[in-house]
Amino acid sequence: MNLRDIHIPVMLERCVELLGPALVREGAVYVDGTLGMGGHAEAFLDRFPGIRLVGLDRDPAALRIAGERLQAHADRIALVHTVYDGIADALRTAGVDRADAILYDLGVSSLQLDEAERGFAYARDAPLDMRMDPTQGVTAAEIVATYSEGELRRIFERYGEEKLAGRYARAIIAARQQSPIERSGRLVEVLQQATPAALSHAGHPAKRVFQALRIEVNGELSALERAIPAALSTLAVGGRLVVLSYQSLEDRFVKRLFAEASASTAPAGLPMELPEHAPRFRLLVKGAEVAGDEEAARNPRAKPVRLRAIERVRESE
C-alpha cells in the first residue's frame, strides 16, 4: 500500500503558506491535531527540517500508519493517542510548552472511509460502528437500537440538517421492532424505503443520516467547541492555527469561535480602546477559502472543504 497514492492531503500548499511563517525558527513546534495517515505532517517535516511535530489522533490505526510513514523523522516527532481537544495535555506529554503552528483537518479520514468494516460509508455494507477510536464508546448500531424517536430526530436535524428527520426516525423505530438494524446496508434500505418517490433522486437518502450518526457517535461538535479555545490557548505570539472543515456545522462553529477570539473585549461605549482590550488574535483569511477547481477535480474529498486561519498577536492579560 502506497499511502502517497491513496491519501492526498487537502489544500496542502495553502496550509504550508499560512502556517509556514510561524515555523521558520529552529525548534518550532508544529501540532497536527488530526494526524490521520500523516500526509500534511510529512510535508511539513520535509519542508521545515528544524521543526518538531506533535501529532494527535484518536484512531490507534492512524497513529500506527502515520508512525511508519514518518519514520525518517522519528527523532523529531511525538505521537499522542487523544482527541484533538486534548491538545494541552498532549503538548505536556511531549514535553512542549507552546505551539507555533496547529492544523486541524476535521471530519472522517481517508483511512476510516476506505476501511469498509468501520461502517462509515453508506455505499458499502458493513457493521454499523462509526467509532473513530474503535477501542471505546458506543457504536452507531447501539444508537440506532436504543435512541427514542425524538432523540433520533434531534440528531438527524441538528447534525445532518435532514429535512426528513422525523420521517426517518419513525421508519427506524418501526424497522427495529421487526429486526435489529446492525449493518449499514440494512439502515440504507430502511431509509430508502422511507424516502418519498418525489425525493428519491435528490441525493442519497442516507448521506445526512450517516453524517449525523457519525457526529453523535464521536461527539465531534462538542469536541470541536472545546478544541478551538484549547488550541488558541496553546499558541505562542505569532503562532497560527488553520482549520479545514468539511460540513457547514463545523465551519459555523469555527467561524463563531474565531470571530470571538479576534474581537476587542472593550466594553461598549468606551471612547477609545485600551491596550488590554485589544484583540489577542487576528484573522489571516477573509471568510472561508475553498479548494481550487484543479484540486477539487484531482481530489474529490477537497470539494466541500472550507479553510479558516487565525494568528495570535499578543499574550492574554
Residues of each annotated binding site for S-adenosyl-L-methionine: 38-40, 57, 84, 105, 112
Judged by DSSP in three states, 58 sits in: coil
Cα-based distances in Å from 231 to 30, 196, 202, 239, 283: 12, 44, 38, 10, 15
Q: Which three cell numbers stand for residue 303?
A: 470539494
Confirm if 11 and 85 have CB atoms less than 8 A apart.
Answer: no
Rg (CA), the chain: 21
- Nearby residues of 130 by Cβ (< 8 Å), 6 or more positions away: 118, 119, 120, 139, 140, 210, 213, 214, 217, 218
Annotated binding site: 38-40, 57, 84, 105, 112
What's the rounded Cα separation, in Å, for the pair 250 and 264?
A: 24
Q: Which three cell numbers stand for residue 119?
A: 461502517
Could you tell me the sign of the dihedral formed by the alpha carbons of 229, 302, 205, 176, in that order?
A: negative
Confirm if 82 and 55 have CB atoms less than 8 A apart.
Answer: no
Q: What count of residues does the chain have? A: 317
Where do we find the cell 527540517?
A: 49
